[in-house]
Amino acid sequence: MSIDFAIPPEAQAIRERVRKWVHEECIPAEKELDTKSLDEVLGPLRKKARAQGLWCPFIPKEYGGMGLGPLANALVQMELGESILGALSMNTQGPDDASMMTLLAHGTEYQKEKFLKPLLNGDKRVCFSMTEKAAGSDATGMQTRADKDGNENYIINGEKWFSSSASVADIALVMAKTDPNAPRHKQFSTFIVELPNPGYRIKRNVKNMAIEGAHYDKLSGGHSEIELKDLKVSADNLLGGEGNGFAMGQHRLAYGRLRHGMHNIAKAQRALDMATAHVTKRSTFGKLLSERQAVQFMLAECASELYMARLMLLHIAYKAEKGLDLTQENSIAKVFLAHMVHKVVDTAIQLHGALGYSQDTILAKWYTQIRSQRLVDGPDEVHKWKVGRNVIKAYLEHGTTASAAGGDLL
């Protein structure tokens, strides 16, 4: 019996609809951002998307979404990432998407009605405040405290660092230590905080190497440094119960890593298309660049990277559909896809020459932005450390490393 790599017809149809949407609506709309506000561009785009049933792909239909499973959603996300307006147009942008999933899975009925519903409608945005200067890749080093005040409230004090989209958020999911005496991974809880709030103060948006461009503050929301001072949160806003913050946070980050990877594939595909279009038109020394073997080799390497990347994500989507553990594959793919998109975009810039280095195309902006992919949701080194330990564990238990290296494909 052979492995069936055929995409189900319904998933293929949805992918084609989204691909058409991105290329006919989102990418052309990017040019309007030079002369119009984001609201003027995104508002009509979202209205049109929703009218076509292109809204919140992974959210169940009963909550107003498309109800797509892991495979169909992966195919959709691998199209949306080609445009800076793609995910936003369908209300599936990060970091909101992973927080919506967290609220859907762990929220009370009160929390879903009050906080999740406006997020699903696209009326509000949400950020996730977990990382601290002293607790980046090791979230268990978190120092922010949440103490009960005896009146059904928690009082939160501490600081957060690099909270993505905090400056445009109406809601924050804040992680804090509630029981320092509990087992290490049960010390933390997550709270839903309505913004603005005097106890949640944005000290600054942290400047970084990314080229910002028009409306960057609203498109990405930036990465904020936060002061939490006597922040009062009702016990009704405790998400998922005390001590479950770390587990929920890791589940949330797991999807975020995959979504980044899906969008990285889309970016790489657009970059390769742009590079190929350029070399088939550009001549040097009386010969098209596309006729030069060195250029063909560069394109071949990019195609190979994309091929491997797609297979990785589709295998992970398959395991998710089957409810299988994908922790090892998630970390392997996270690292690989971050390097893949950097390599492909870098090659596309090289093939464009000075044009690629300029800001006349989207490539230079992407190049500065995608460097973060090797850091966010866990740096390369943490994921490689975890993967390496699992390789050793597999060998000691089974006499082979296959189960830690895609062995279920054998």
Handedness of CA 213, 219, 224, 230 (dihedral sign): positive
For the segment(s) 9-93, the CATH number from 3.30.1950.10, 3.30.590.20, 1.10.540.10, 3.40.50.920 is 1.10.540.10
Give the span between the Cα atoms of 8 and 68, in whole angstroms: 12
**Distance between CA atoms of 128 and 200, rounded to whole angstroms?**
13
Residue 127 φ then ψ, to 5°: -120, 170
Domain at 247-409, CATH from 3.40.190.10, 1.20.140.10, 3.30.830.10, 3.30.420.40: 1.20.140.10
H-type alpha helices, 22-135: 27-30, 38-51, 70-80, 86-89, 96-106, 109-111, 117-120
How far apart CA 146 and CA 176 sit, in angstroms, is 6
- Tell me the per-residue pLDDT of 175-195, one tens digit each, with 9 for 90 and over: 999 999 999 999 999 999 999
Q: Is 212 exposed, middle or buried (0-12, 13-18, 19+ CB in 10 A)?
A: middle
Confidence of residue 1 (pLDDT cuts 50, 70, 90): very low
In the chain, domain spans: 9-93, 126-243, 247-409
Per-residue confidence (pLDDT) for residue 221, from 0 to 100:
74
Instruction: Please enumerate in sequence order all residues whose Cβ is within 8 A of that of 344, keeping only pairs 6 or more positions apart, or say none.
Output: 267, 268, 271, 272, 302, 305, 306
Write down the H helix ranges in 234-292. 245-279
In this predicted structure, what is the pLDDT of residue 254? Answer: 78
**The CATH number of the domain covering residues in 126-243:** 2.40.110.10
Residue 220 φ then ψ, to 5°: -110, -25
Q: CA separation (Å) from 277 to 86, 249, 288, 290, 351?
A: 22, 42, 11, 9, 10
d(CA 335, CA 385): 11
Q: Rounded to 5 degrees, what angle do the CA atoms 88, 93, 94 make?
A: 150
Share of the chain above pLDDT 90, in %: 82
Lookup result for tokens 């850091």: 375
Name the strand (E) or helix (H) holding 92.
none
Considering all CA atoms of the chain, what is the largest pairwise distance in Å, rounded to the nearest integer? 81
pLDDT for 2 beyond 70: no
> What are 372's two structure tokens?
């973060």
Determine the pLDDT at residue 410. Answer: 56
Q: Which residue has the tokens 């973060």?
A: 372
Q: What pLDDT, in 10s, does the model give residues 299-317?
A: 999 999 999 999 999 999 8
Mean pLDDT of the chain: 93
Kindly report, residue by residue over 135-149, the tens digit of the pLDDT.
777 888 899 999 999
Q: Hey, what are 98's tokens?
A: 């992973």
Is residue 248 predicted with pLDDT exceeding 90? no
141: nearest Cα among 184, 192, 178, 186: 184
pLDDT of residue 72: 94
Q: In whole angstroms, what is the distance from residue 323 CA to residue 365 CA? A: 37
Place of tokens 């189960």: 403
% residues pLDDT > 70 (the chain): 98
- C-alpha 57, offset from chain centre: 14
Is-contact 162 208, C-beta < 8 A? no
pLDDT in tens, 308-367: 999 999 999 888 888 888 899 999 999 999 999 999 999 999 999 999 999 999 999 999
* Helix, strand, coil share (%) of the chain residues, nearest 5: 55, 15, 30
Give, in degrees to the nearest 5, the angle at Cα 347 between 345 and 353: 105
Q: Tell me, what's the pLDDT at 255?
A: 81
* pLDDT tens for each residue of 66-115: 999 999 999 999 999 999 999 999 999 989 999 999 999 999 999 999 99
Q: What is the DSSP letter of 35?
A: T
User: Is the pLDDT score of 225 beyond 50?
Assistant: yes
